[in-house]
Chain A
């Protein structure tokens, strides 16, 4: 699975018969798949399909009960957890903020390594996510949901991850902000060759931003491949899901 295939290149991350159970409840069931290196992979599927759980497994916040996960060919269970999490960044849907200013939040990945984030770098990050530099000293409690989401993305970028996991990051954004964030992620993907995995409920977004896609249902990977599979699904379950979303 880690070999990926000729068309999609090398796998940045690969899952090999991965299952995950919590309190005897099977959440992920024997999933094998990969994220092509340097590509944007979208994750689609109904709520409760296990998409966020897959992200938590990839970032090492939880471990598979069966199977293994590889990052550029290395089993993540053998990697130092802090190094894994800096390499595989994650921005979650709820965009949790730490009490304090925007700067404190942006600087946190550096603070955790006993380093400082330069003010100029912090301002640059803010402009990259479409926010004014004046946001730097604002208290996070004064931010809107969309602004928090943008700060959350910028904060994840501080670690310069090689793989970036984005969990419904545009669900609380308006159309203009969504477009800004999409451009930013495409820029990060192309400019720095960062592999992106993006959970979205918006099939149009999956089609226009993704190179590759995973369709998940009930903890299983139903279908994966080029984003075209969303246009012409072969699997009846995927057909049903797309019909429902459309």
Chain B
């Protein structure tokens, strides 16, 4: 694709801009910012990836992954700000997910140990893990608030924090996993996944593109389950003190 044809694709930005202006939606500024940011961010990533691929250095791969984890943590921690030490809990979760998935992929020689594979797959894994963390933390803090009485009842009857928080925790883990499982049920029927579409457009064999997409889908299932469960079990002790008393947490609604 030449730069001329790429610049023609800006027509797809002009359409929503024109619609927003005509219907007075007031979204012109946000649309423009989003367009400019995506151009700058993606072009920068393109150059960085070219540099990293050419350098063939593991240090740069690690730096790239660390950058992804840092950005994902920064984004997700806002939703769990009421949970003490959420930043470290998120970092630990993302690092564990990354090590687990790359360990399996590289250990079993499913994918080659090159930047070309490690970085995009890490991006998908950490990105998915971040979305799952946000979904989980949102739900968990809401469940904790709405089931305060039940949780305190179980504590008052002699239950431990783990027993008292069991139901809200399980509900939150399940609720955060449902979108991943549901979207996988209709994949290929309703929408073609982005990565697979990209490979097909770039000229890859559709069957090979499907094989890679399946690998990613299965990977994301593990990512989703491990993220919610790990973050859940790391987070719930922060909601109680050493006397097994519930701590007050500040929810988004109270901010």
Contacts and interface: CB of A to CB of B under 8 A. Distances in A.
Interface of A: 59-63, 77, 81-83, 85-86, 89-90, 92, 94, 96, 98, 108-109, 112-113, 155-156, 159
A35 B150 CA distance: 28
Nearest to A77: B243
A59 B156 contact: yes
Contacts of B158: 82-83, 85-86, 109, 112-113, 159
A61 B150 contact: no
B195 interface: no
Contacts, number: 56
Given A77-B243, A81-B243, A81-B244, A90 B150 contact: no
Given A62-B245, A81-B155, A85-B157, 13 more contacts: A60-B243, A60-B245, A77-B243, A81-B244, A82-B244, A83-B158, A92-B153, A96-B150, A98-B154, A112-B157, A112-B158, A112-B159, A155-B157
The range of chain B's interface size is: 10 to 19
B245 A108 contact: no
Nearest to B152: A61
Nearest to A109: B157
Nearest to B241: A63
A89 B158 CA distance: 9
A159 B157 contact: yes
A112 B154 CA distance: 8
Contacts of B155: 61, 81, 85
Contacts of B243: 60, 63, 77, 81
- For the complex of A and B, the 5 pairs showing the least CB-CB separation, nearest first, are A86-B158, A81-B244, A112-B159, A96-B149, A85-B158
A61 B156 CA distance: 7
B38 to A, nearest CB: 44
7 contacts: A61-B152, A81-B245, A85-B158, A86-B158, A109-B158, A112-B154, A112-B157
A98 B160 contact: no
Contacts of B150: 96, 98
B130 to A, nearest CB: 32
A241 B163 CA distance: 42
Nearest to A158: B157
B43 to A, nearest CB: 50
A109 B245 CA distance: 18
A71 to B, nearest CB: 14
A65 to B, nearest CB: 13
A45 to B, nearest CB: 22
Contacts of A85: 155-158
Contacts of A61: 152, 155-156, 245-246
Nearest to B242: A81
Contacts of A59: 156
